[in-house]
Amino acid sequence: MMANILLVDDHPVVREGYRRLLERQPGFTVVAEAATAAEAYRLYKAQRPDLVILDLSLPGPSGIEAIRHIRQWDGAARILVFSMRTGAAIARQAFAAGASGYVSKASAPRELLEASAGVLRGERAMSADIALAIAQDEVAGGRSSLDELSPREVEILGMTAAGATAQTIAEALCLGLKTVQNNLSLIRAKLGARTDAHLVWIAVGAGLVAAPHGPPAAET
């Protein structure tokens, strides 16, 4: 199997490790690396790789935004998420945005390689822990609060929960400030959130962002 790969992760040392692992496979070549969603989109258009392997946790717009933009430009793009996030809700959001596979970083290296090959064959691929999380969630009949949100709203929620202001989000996503503010109002209404602190803890509970250090901020 011959495949050109774009790696997207904001840690250069981590990317180097992935590059070495992937390029030990006959036919796998890493042709470009990106550290942000914007770089990933630009390099995808420039390189047209056969496979994108990306983390969801990126500075500024997240991997969800990168997936959405790449798939809007190329509906046939093959994208494999490789992330520390293992919740069923965030995995479903990644698939809804257009990901073809999802592997957790806690997985054995062979699972990344097997998922990469599966996605290149046109299959939907998941590591065992992600498949189990989704299966358990479906058996329990559980619905995440994120299921009520569109991919754009999930992106805005994630950036808000990570501490970005509405103005910063507007600039990063090339949206008007009023549009972001309106989206935040809709998000609060859909999630029943009373304050931004409440939004943060909803996002943490859904696995969208990591829990902040220290006790939660007091709600007003």
Domain ranges of the chain: 3-139, 145-205
Which has the minimum average pLDDT: 1-5, 22-26, 150-154?
Answer: 150-154
Say yes or no to pLDDT of 2 above 80.
yes
CA dihedral 131, 30, 78, 21 (to 10 degrees): -10
pLDDT digits (tens, 9 = 90+) for 25-56: 999 999 999 999 999 999 999 999 999 999 98
Can you give the pLDDT at residue 145? 66
For residues 212 and 18, the model is more confident at 18
For residues 140 and 195, the model is more confident at 195
Say yes or no to pLDDT of 210 above 50.
yes
CA nearest neighbour of 39 among 22, 19, 15, 63: 63
Can you give the pLDDT at residue 220? 36
For residues 15 and 174, the model is more confident at 15
pLDDT digits (tens, 9 = 90+) for 98-155: 999 999 998 999 999 999 999 999 999 999 988 888 887 776 665 666 777 877 888 8
pLDDT digits (tens, 9 = 90+) for 46-87: 999 999 999 988 887 888 889 999 999 999 999 999 998 877
Determine the Cα–Cα distance for residues 32 and 25; give it in Å rounded to an integer.
Answer: 17
Say yes or no to pLDDT of 204 above 60.
yes
Averaged pLDDT for residues 85-91 = 81
pLDDT digits (tens, 9 = 90+) for 159-189: 888 888 999 988 888 889 999 999 999 998 8
User: Which tokens is 92 given?
Assistant: 């479903």
CATH number, domain 3-139, options 3.20.20.80, 3.30.300.30, 3.40.50.2300, 1.10.10.10: 3.40.50.2300
The architecture CATH gives domain 145-205: Orthogonal Bundle (1.10)
State the DSSP code for 48: -
